[in-house]
């Protein structure tokens, strides 16, 4: 098939073995990352389907880059809320003030991303591709837990490398309801009811731990997410500009209109003036 040629599945040993046995398990076989000339490869490791040892390279940067963000997700009685700021930073530079850090994967799943911008975009596209291929093969969506397990499996061989990815899967399973799972580039996979990731996460946790309740209404939950991101951006120099908020229910995800955090700042100043 043309899709096999594009994805590099055609002539792999595993593909030939499956073809001989007549089975099609639907498991992704291999993907390839282009190499750069005159580069030093990673330390060799045992050969794995997703091993970076043969395809990835270590490229020294001319200077170190610090990066940061604020993303969060939590579960309440009305579903799952995912929120994030929109600032992409490169050291002391605001590289882009309007980045989308929440990416829909399918109708009932979005992921929040923190880490290296390039790595996050690459792995989100890989994950979306694999989920779509699974859906075409099996005529159903992979569960949120299965998606997290697949992503963890793909990322684990990159443990100890310069890959920097931290994704929070926020979704709704038909069988189990709302799910929130954190997966990072060392292969760790954690289930929970509340996660905040990034340099602004300690400030966001301070707001969420104080105000989060299971019985929140939809509007209260959205307001809480906005407040948590705002408080984080107020103290964290690497977070800021605007806030994106997604609400995921049994009917799928919906996105709130992107809000400027400057407006929240002015409202906060007005409240402070009123109380003084």
**Which among 186, 196, 214 has a CA at the least distance from the CA of 69?**
196
**Which among 212, 249, 109, 209 has a CA at the least distance from the CA of 167?**
109
H-run or E-run covering 242: strand 242-249
* Catalytic choice (12, 35, 69, 70): 69
3-state secondary structure of 97: coil
Strand partners, 259: 243
Q: Is 69 an annotated catalytic residue?
A: yes
- Asked if residue 228 lies in contact with residue 213, where contact means CB atoms within 8 angstroms, the answer is no
Task: Count CB atoms within 10 A of the CB of residue 116.
Answer: 18
Show Cβ contacts of residue 221 under 8 Å, excluding neighbours closer than 6 positions: 74, 76, 78, 81, 247
Catalogue the active-site residues: 69
């Amino acid at each position: 098939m043309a899709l096999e040629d594009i994805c590099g599945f055609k002539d792999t040993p595993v593909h030939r073995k499956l073809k001989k046995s007549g089975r099609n398990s639907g498991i992704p076989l291999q993907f390839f990352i282009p190499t750069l000339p005159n580069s030093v490869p990673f330390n060799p490791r045992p050969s794995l389907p997703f091993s970076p040892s043969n395809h990835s390279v270590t490229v020294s940067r001319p200077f170190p880059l610090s990066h940061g963000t604020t993303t969060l997700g939590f579960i309440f009685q009305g579903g799952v809320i995912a929120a994030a700021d929109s600032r992409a930073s490169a050291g002391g530079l605001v590289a882009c003030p309007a980045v989308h850090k929440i990416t829909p994967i399918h109708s009932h799943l979005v992921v929040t991303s923190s880490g290296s911008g390039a790595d996050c975009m690459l792995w989100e596209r890989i994950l979306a591709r694999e989920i779509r291929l699974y859906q075409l093969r099996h005529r159903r969506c992979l569960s949120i837990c299965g998606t997290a397990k697949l992503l963890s499996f793909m990322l684990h061989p990159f443990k100890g490398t310069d890959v920097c990815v931290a994704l929070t899967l926020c979704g709704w399973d038909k069988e189990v309801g709302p799910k929130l799972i954190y997966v990072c580039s060392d292969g760790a996979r954690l289930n929970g009811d509340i996660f905040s990731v990034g340099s602004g996460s300690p400030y966001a946790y301070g707001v969420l731990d104080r105000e989060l309740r299971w019985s929140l209404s939809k509007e209260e939950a959205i307001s809480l997410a906005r407040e948590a991101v705002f408080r984080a951006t107020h103290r964290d120099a690497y977070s800021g500009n605007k806030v994106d908020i997604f609400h995921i229910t049994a009917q799928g995800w919906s996105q709130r209109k992107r809000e400027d955090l400057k407006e929240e700042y002015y409202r906060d100043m007005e409240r402070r003036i009123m109380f003084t």
